[in-house]
Amino acid sequence: MKLTTTLLATGALVLSAGASFADGHMAGDMTLVSWGGAYQKSQQRAYVEPYIAANSGVSAIWDESSAEAVAKLRAMNEAGNVTWDLVDVVAADAIRLCDEGLAMEIDADEVLAAAPDGTSASDDFGDLLVSDCFIPQIVYSTTFGYRTDLVGDTPPTDVCAVFDTATYPGKRSLEKRAINNMEWALICDGVAKDDVYDVLETEEGQAQALAKLDTIKDDVIWWSAGADTPQLLADGEIVMGSTYNGRLFSVIEEQDQPVAMLWDAQIFDLDGWIIPAGLPDDRLARVKDFVKFATDTQRLADQAKYISYGPARASSAPLVGKHADLGIDMAPHMPTDPENAKNTFLYNYEFWADYRDDIEAKFQAWLAQ
């Protein structure tokens, strides 16, 4: 009898404590979703560890599910049990999640910190706020790397070297999807950069891009994981291949392989956070507090110490310093560095949100045939 009473009393106490936490207080645990590997480590060191050090009692749990984040979040939402607090996704996925009502819309100026000079967050991030739900962290690019020892005396300077199997014989690697490859194909087939998406909108344009890709179809190894191209380059399996610029940085600088960057026509893309829709108040409060800290000017600049991706804030760029372990200047390795960004291509989110299913179906059919 006494035991029961004690149990009940404790239960009630716990319940009321829980309830009081719910209004206004912040939850102690955060589940952060990211990509794993070097990128997640850069996040861990640049802002998760400092945040935990400053807020005792808070702990962060990582879930390396960003690649399937959209599908998993949709499944969680249908099951009515969203266990994630903050999810790192590429911009295209953020747009999808926003469209599906799975990500929370935010007001950038309210949720994010202003720059040190007082510039509002929405101005500091500028055009990179591509969706109402998206909180950008980094600018990365998909670009080509080549084996310096396999290209002869004339290293490629032009992206169209990929399609030039006469001058640069050997295999090349491209991602096993339509996005980016269709754009490069059209650019190298003589379409002006500004017209690429207008052309790609038409059936003829899609056929033109596939026809161009068809000229090198037998020379391509198609990759699906970001680590594939670095491995193929290191093994000498390919002459050149596309991948994320950070992966190439680690092959070149950290692993010292005979590989060089071909920055020409690199395609910029963004990666950032979204907050899942429908979080309980205490968890939402914690996440908002963390996001404000993690995306401020200094933190985004700090991240560039660990990985060669450009900070998404304009105000962070001047603060980018040296690599934390290698001690080399990071600025020249950023995709946004003026020297690297002479000829860049901006990925059109709206276009791909509309045409992805259609073009991807054609692309995959072309691949399989």
Residue 349 tokens read as 């989110």
- CA distances to 130, 230, 262, 265, 336 from 193, rounded to whole Å, are 21, 28, 18, 9, 18
User: Which C-beta is closer to other proteins: that of 131 or that of 141?
Assistant: 131
Stretch binding other proteins (CB under 8 A), from 221-229, 248-256, 257-265, 266-274: 221-229
Q: Per-residue DSSP letters for 156-212?
A: --SGGGGG-TTTS-S-EEEESSSTTHHHHHHHHTT--GGGHHHHHTSHHHHHHHHHH
Stretch binding other proteins (CB under 8 A), from 18-26, 219-227, 251-259, 338-346: 219-227
Q: Is 81 in the site for other proteins (CB under 8 A)?
A: no
Q: Is 364 in the site for other proteins (CB under 8 A)?
A: yes
User: Which C-beta is closer to other proteins: that of 100 or that of 198?
Assistant: 100
Q: Is 157 in the site for other proteins (CB under 8 A)?
A: no
Interatomic CA distance for residues 143 and 162, integer angstroms? 11
Tell me the closest approach of the beta carbon of residue 234 to other proteins, in angstroms: 10
Give the one residue of 63, 123, 158, 237 binding other proteins; rule: CB under 8 A: 237
Number of residues that bind other proteins (CB under 8 A): 38
Tell me the closest approach of the beta carbon of residue 350 to other proteins, in angstroms: 6
User: Which C-beta is closer to other proteins: that of 158 or that of 201?
Assistant: 201
Give the x-and-dash track for 177-216 against other proteins (CB under 8 A): ------------------------------x--x------
Helix (H, G, I), strand (E, B) or coil at 142: strand
User: Which C-beta is closer to other proteins: that of 293 or that of 366?
Assistant: 366
Cα dihedral sign, 333-339-345-350: positive
Give the one residue of 42, 96, 181, 335 binding other proteins; rule: CB under 8 A: 96
Contacts of 306 (CB under 8 A, 6+ apart): 38, 41, 42, 45, 46, 323, 324
Q: Is 1 in the site for other proteins (CB under 8 A)?
A: no
Beta strands in the chain (DSSP E): 29-33, 59-63, 86-90, 135-147, 172-175, 220-223, 240-244, 259-274, 310-311, 344-346
- Residue 203 CB neighbour total at 10 angstroms: 9
Would you tell me which residues interact with other proteins (CB under 8 A)?
Answer: 67-68, 70-71, 74, 96, 98-101, 171, 176, 207, 210, 221-222, 224, 231-232, 235-237, 350, 353-358, 360-362, 364-369
